[in-house]
Structure 1
Amino acid sequence: MTMPTTRPRFWLTAIVAVLLASCSGPAPDPDAEPASDGSGRDVGVQLFEWTWDAIARECTDHLGPAGYAWVLTSPPQEHITGEPWWTSYQPVSYRVESRLGTREQFAAMVRTCHDAGVDVWADAVLNHMTGLDEGGVGWAGSSFEHYTYPGIWTPDDFHHCGLTDGDDISSYLDADEVQTCELVNLADLDTASPHVHSTLTAYLQDLLSLGVDGFRIDAAKHMAPADVAAVLEPLPAGTGIAQEVIRGSNEPISPEQYTGNGQVYEFTYAKELMGVLAGSPGLALDLGSASARYVPSPDAVVFVDNHDTERNGSTLSYRDADYALANVLMLAGSYGTPQVYSGYAFDDTDAGPAQDASGAVLDATCPAEPGPEAQREAGDWVCQHRWPAVAGMVGWRGVVGDAPVVDAWSEGDAVAFGRGERGFVVVNAGDDAQAIDVATSLADGDYCDVLAAGCDASTVADGRIRLTVPAHTARAYDVAHRG
């Protein structure tokens, strides 16, 4: 992306607004210590199309040590065969056998991640089955037709909405179409049916029996909130839920309708964060204010991008110059529960990950020095969750916990703020270096930049921090990393 040489000042005001608007709590505690109550260990990471064996190793070697709280896997159920990534989102059966690994490998991965202190969430495809009119045979050998899945579903178990030509959704302004017609020909389950409820619940319970801690509910918007509730109600208390409900302008279906079932992904955050960092002159955002449409912070899972949005261009992606800075701002703020994304490079938006001759996905391998500057070709794993600016902020967030946002400041293309007396962050999204001389609630002393290799220390003296931040970079300091 080509960055403009100047940006309007409103984007800085917007960042400060979202940070302050989402914050509430007491004044900074003069005796504040690094968070030890778990309030800062809330960051998830979506390891898109990573195999179960690769996730297990990553939990032990990187996710646990970095402070990630949970990992979201790709769908584990049997799916159609084929190279594209979206084959994983066309279920054939609810057997835990996929091109990412076997049931035994999945269960072993969950145990390994738990041993590393990382919870495991699974992407659950409940709304639909396949989109293949001719049917076929799934990854694990299960035969199927478009509306017949032996031993699971018959044609009576599917919606046939009769509202549009071909039964496909044509208007998102019609709630009945969105929730009973087909999404791009995907066989749409009649999720109001008790039989469908019980079958889907049984699948989720099977994953729970393997140790899964929570679920991303794919395409939740295409199921009525009451139908989602009926599937989830029998699950144990404490099961994590994050529902995919994409907010659309003037649409009758909104994320707020689903918060009774659990958290929702707040797509508005990701889309508006992209606008803020791009500095579009025509964009007038007030992130986090009453004029923006956001669910309350406890109900929101926030993200910079995911596997859909990095392909459709509705958010930033690894290709964008300020992608790392967007992650810094997300992880530094107090709105929502953050989810980092980590996928693979692509030129074709349909392209799947690297696979062997049988179609099994190859284990992810990260570059020796992952980061925005790493050279990559299509199919290479980007490993955003290991980028120093991202992994460093995950640890920083673990230190600051739920401390309130304080000492907000902005000038030019830079913004700075603290989290109580536990941490301080500076982001410079401009094209020029920015001199910083600002007040901070950190105690006087030397602090290491947690986003840098080694200890690149800055000094707080007389309650102020003075430093120069290069263009398109950030600095972050916390009380657990003193110089």
Structure 2
Amino acid sequence: MKKSLFLVMAGSIIIASCRQTTPAPEADTNDDVILHAWSWSFDTIAANMKDIAEAGYAYVQTSPANTCFIGEDGGMALFSQPGDSVKGKWYYYYQPTDWKIGNYLLGSRDQFKSMMDSAAKYNVKVIVDVLPNHTAVDHTAVLPDLDNAVGGHDKLFHANGMTDITDYNDRYQCTTGKMGGLPDVNTENPDFQAYYMNYVNDLLSLGVKGFRYDTAKHIGLPSDPLDSLAERNNFWDVATGREEVKGVRLSVPRDSLFIYGEVLQDRNVKEAEYGEYMDLVASNYGHALRNVLEKADFNADSLLIWHHPVDGKHLVTWVESHDTYCNQHESAGLTDEQVRMGYVFLTARQNGTPLFYSRPAGSTRDNYWGNNRVGARGNDEFKHPEVVAVNKFRRAMHGQPENVTASDNGAVIAVARGNAGLVLINISGKTQTVDIPTALPDGAYTDGIHNTTFKANNGRINGTLAPFTSYILTY
């Protein structure tokens, strides 16, 4: 006699017939997801921490917390053009003038601490974007405490640090030269390392649980050429707690932290060696995914390989990052719906740690900057019901292996997790009807977000999907 089984999962009621199954061995899976609260102030993040937690994010990533260059009279615009009444640029917080907590764009140290208290209350872990590679374009704005700590202003930079990089695939230029006008810090100077690690340890003392290393591929590895002012390329050994410097060491165990690096892929980038120290961004995979989304065809690129020498379990995955959105607007042409479909795909998968980049509130394909204010919350997409459901699905599918397939026309992607769950994603702007293989037991599965029922029978599942819509089904 069959019995009906009713499960409540991420707000969904799923109806299926109950049968005895033999549990499959657990697969090695990633469970966590990151919200990149891009340009949100510390107060704004704190005010939204309850929503962040309830949306299923394990981590929230802040923009850089360090003291930074004050540009355009301290204006708070994300991006201003000549003649705009409100001035400013979002990227000034990527131009350090000192390594201490607090800046005019995001908030003070006390406001940062209040944000951390809120994170602890809601059990959300905080990742801070850190950038030891360079200072502000106007290096004369560097504050005296930093200059004094490293032995004088001239000791702060590599000997090659004021020379523009002309070949980003030349490792000496890449790791010692000036990138985009940003003078290159002598990250091998022990005095700088100790000063920087005191900043890191201050962040850790307030409860920070991880770091995103900006421009990580521009900081040398042990195998890289030495700048004439450096004795050893040992920054990463110090930053990840393998070594102490001048009596200063990473103050918590390395394995208690989530650390990943912005090592954008190109020719002659030593991804595997960087991967010995930290997780890495899957930038080529993001490009492939955007290609698939733009063409509404799973077969337009290869999404079954990671396009990376590092294993998927140690990659941070995204549809877009703040750089692809803000700098060249490479991803800005994707609609919010397309980005959401891509994020649902990444999050349904077995591996990678997905990052959801929060676009500005009010942003459109004609107005990338939306409300155009640093400090304000992004749009509501980070807590869209489909995003919330797939975040919770991911954790519920712990230990379940994936099987990624697609409809014949490539418009619908199916991510199965063992025989316990299935996510169906229509990446096209047209209604799609599917009849595809499934490992789900026979029965009717109703997605609680859209109240749409799919029927599984004899190893196949069928149903109809609305344009740019995803469906989360669990047994």
TM-score range, shorter chain: 0.7 to 0.9
Whole-Å separation in 1 of the counterparts to 2:470 and 2:276:
37
| Contact 1:241–1:263 (CA under 8 A) maintained in structure 2 | yes
| Contact 1:69–1:119 (CA under 8 A) maintained in structure 2 | yes
CA shift at 1:258, angstroms?
A: 0.5
Out of 321, 332, 342, which is 1:326 matched to?
342
| Contact 1:305–1:317 (CA under 8 A) maintained in structure 2 | no
| Contact 1:40–1:399 (CA under 8 A) maintained in structure 2 | no
Whole-Å separation in 2 of the counterparts to 1:253 and 1:473:
37
Answer yes or no: is 1:390 the counterpart of 2:387.
yes
Q: Which one is further off, 204-213 or 328-337?
A: 328-337
Out of 462, 469, 482, which is 2:465 matched to?
469
CA shift at 1:224, angstroms?
A: 0.8
Equivalent residue number for residue 30 of structure 1: 21
Residues 349, 171 of structure 1: alpha-carbon distance in 2 compared, 3 angstrom cutoff? farther
Answer yes or no: is 1:179 the counterpart of 2:175.
yes
| Contact 1:49–1:100 (CA under 8 A) maintained in structure 2 | yes
Residues 88, 153 of structure 1: alpha-carbon distance in 2 compared, 3 angstrom cutoff? farther
The CA RMSD over aligned residues, in Å, is 3.2
| Contact 1:318–1:384 (CA under 8 A) maintained in structure 2 | no
Percent identity over the alignment is: 26
The structure 1 segments of at least 4 consecutive aligned residues displaced by more than 6 Å after TM superposition are: 346-353
Out of 280, 286, 298, which is 2:313 matched to?
298
Structure 1: which amino acid aligns with 2:426? N
Out of 24, 32, 42, which is 1:52 matched to?
42
Whole-Å separation in 2 of the counterparts to 1:232 and 1:97:
23
Q: Which runs of 5+ in 2 are unaligned?
A: 1-19, 72-87, 222-233, 242-248
Structure 1: which amino acid aligns with 2:109? R
- Number of matched pairs: 411
Whole-Å separation in 2 of the counterparts to 1:32 and 1:120:
35
For 1:21-420, what aligned pairs fall within 5 Å after superposition?
30=21, 41-60=31-50, 62-82=51-71, 83-98=88-103, 99-132=105-138, 135-136=140-141, 144=143, 149=147, 151=149, 154-162=152-160, 167-225=163-221, 226-233=234-241, 234-235=249-250, 236-237=252-253, 238-248=256-266, 250=267, 252-279=268-295, 285-289=301-305, 292-311=307-326, 312-315=328-331, 319=335, 322-344=338-360, 345=363, 354-355=372-373, 361-364=374-377, 381-406=378-403, 408-412=405-409, 413-420=411-418
Q: Which runs of 5+ in 1 are unaligned?
A: 1-28, 137-142, 356-360, 365-380
Match of 1:261, SS? coil
CA shift at 1:472, angstroms?
A: 2.9
Residues 192, 346 of structure 1: alpha-carbon distance in 2 compared, 3 angstrom cutoff? farther
Q: What whole-Å deviation, never above 9, does each CA across 1:424-453 have from its counterpart, x for those lacking one? A: 112222343221223322233443325x25
| Contact 1:55–1:109 (CA under 8 A) maintained in structure 2 | yes
Q: What whole-Å deviation, never above 9, does each CA across 1:209-256 have from its counterpart, x for those lacking one? A: 0000010011111101342222222322222211010001x2x22322
Equivalent residue number for residue 5 of structure 2: none
Whole-Å separation in 2 of the counterparts to 1:429 and 1:442:
22
Residues 129, 348 of structure 1: alpha-carbon distance in 2 compared, 3 angstrom cutoff? farther
Structure 1: which amino acid aligns with 2:132? L
Residues 407, 105 of structure 1: alpha-carbon distance in 2 compared, 3 angstrom cutoff? closer
Q: What whole-Å deviation, never above 9, does each CA across 1:81-132 have from its counterpart, x for those lacking one? A: 2320001111122221222122122112112112212111100111111111
Whole-Å separation in 2 of the counterparts to 1:92 and 1:197:
15
Equivalent residue number for residue 74 of structure 2: none
Structure 1: which amino acid aligns with 2:62? T
| Contact 2:150–2:191 (CA under 8 A) maintained in structure 1 | no
Residues 362, 198 of structure 1: alpha-carbon distance in 2 compared, 3 angstrom cutoff? closer
| Contact 1:439–1:465 (CA under 8 A) maintained in structure 2 | yes
